[in-house]
């Protein structure tokens, strides 16, 4: 069935994603603090979050930030981290292809892991309204910007982010994504994470500064691409 997007569906999607968005505020706050600590101005930090809206790659970019920015490494790292969006977008193409181009690209512009997962579920159930993708994305973007703003406001006054645990929010967020599923993690899910972590640690000690970011991202991505996918067993 053809998809549609209207104000009512967008509002419903916004409300459905609102509880998840509360956690994104803390994530954005950590980024705002980290960006200020790395020398970005308040305006640069807010523009980065508002225009890019890609938490993991924004943190990775900060690891490469400095007086001299390795542009090739920066582009390769962000592409490796966000390459999953190619598959995510392709998986929704049969659902979104009948939308007007403006609505279609507006939905994809605010697509992230959380609202994509909900959208896939709606599509599989035969839902025609794509409001969960667009409205949910707006909710996540709003929370991300609110968190970033809080980080910018308080970041200059936090000289030691690690005292408040702000330096580990990124790691905790990714760990929650890994173990938060109600299904037992499969080899296809665990192996890329383990390979990425191991490769990043080795690169941190044996390769030039900041190389661990791109090495970990590429190692994990390639492992995920080459690992055979197995369908989860049905619960008894």
**Residue 187 pLDDT class (50, 70, 90 cuts):** low
**What residues contact residue 203 under an 8 Å CB cut-off, 6+ apart?**
211, 212, 215, 216
**Residue 175: which pLDDT band, with cuts at 50, 70 and 90?**
low
pTM given for the model: 0.72
Mean pLDDT value across residues 164-168: 54
CB 87 within 8 A of CB 225: no
- The SS3 assignment for 218 reads helix
CB neighbours of residue 68 within 10 Å:
7
Q: What pLDDT score does 136 carry?
A: 93
Selection from 204, 178, 193, 180 nearest residue 227 by Cα: 193
pLDDT digits (tens, 9 = 90+) for 109-156: 999 888 888 888 888 888 889 998 999 999 999 999 999 999 998 866
pLDDT in tens, 194-230: 888 888 889 888 887 667 767 877 787 778 767 765 5
Summarised one tens digit per residue, pLDDT across range 51-92 is 999 888 888 888 888 777 778 878 887 887 787 788 788 888
- Quote the tokens at residue 146: 């609110």
- Residue 166 has a pLDDT of 52
Secondary structure of 42-107 as H, E, C letters: HHHHHHHHHHHCCHHHHHHHHHCCCCCCCHHHHHHHHHHHHCHHHHHHHHHHHHHCCCCHHHHHHH
């Amino acid at each position: 069935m053809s998809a549609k997007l209207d104000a009512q569906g967008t509002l419903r999607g916004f409300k459905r994603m609102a509880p998840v968005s509360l956690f994104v505020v803390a994530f954005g706050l950590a980024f705002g603090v980290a960006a200020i600590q790395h020398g970005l101005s308040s305006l640069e930090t807010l523009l980065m979050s508002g225009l890019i809206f890609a938490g993991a790659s924004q943190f990775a970019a900060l690891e490469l930030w400095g007086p001299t920015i390795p542009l090739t490494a920066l582009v390769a790292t962000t592409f490796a981290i966000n390459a999953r969006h190619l598959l995510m977008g392709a998986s929704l193409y049969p659902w979104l292809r009948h939308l007007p181009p403006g609505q279609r690209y507006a939905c994809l512009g605010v697509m992230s892991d959380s609202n994509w997962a909900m959208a896939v579920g709606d599509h599989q159930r035969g839902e025609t309204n794509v409001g969960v993708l667009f409205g949910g994305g707006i909710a996540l973007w709003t929370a991300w910007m609110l968190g970033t703003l809080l980080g910018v406001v308080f970041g200059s006054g936090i000289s030691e982010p690690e005292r408040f645990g702000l330096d580990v929010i990124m790691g905790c967020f990714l760990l929650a994504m890994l173990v938060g599923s109600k299904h037992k993690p499969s080899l296809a899910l665990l192996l890329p994470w383990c390979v990425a972590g191991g490769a990043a640690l080795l690169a941190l000690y044996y390769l030039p500064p900041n190389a661990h970011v791109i090495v970990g991202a590429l190692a994990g991505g390639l492992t995920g691409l080459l690992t055979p996918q197995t369908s989860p067993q049905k619960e008894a």
